[in-house]
Amino acid sequence: MKLTVSGNEKEYADGLSVAQLIELEKVETPQYVTVSVNDEFVESGAFAETSLNAGDIVEFLYFMGGGQYGF
């Protein structure tokens, strides 16, 4: 099946889960990554049970944050 991952359309195995895609795409520090599928955010605990369907558009977003104190 075809998926669009981070803007690139590629062929993937049918029934792939979000967790498997993260591994396949070698996403670094996945614990800090937010995943969206067709603009819907996937709960971080649900990566393994969320399977992808042909035509899905997947984005990986890195958490960005900080604070002003503590040197």
Nearest approach in angstroms of CB 28 to Zn ion is 22
Residue 45 binds other proteins, judged by CB under 8 A? no
The number of residues that bind Zn ion (CB under 5 A) is: 2
2 burial type by CB count under 10 A (0-12 exposed, 13-18 middle, 19+ buried): exposed
Q: How far is CA 29 from CA 25, 26, 39, 58, 69, in A?
A: 12, 9, 21, 17, 24
Q: Which of 9, 23, 28, 49 binds other proteins (CB under 8 A)?
A: 28
CB of 33 to Zn ion, least distance (A): 21
Least distance from C-beta 64 to Zn ion, angstroms? 11
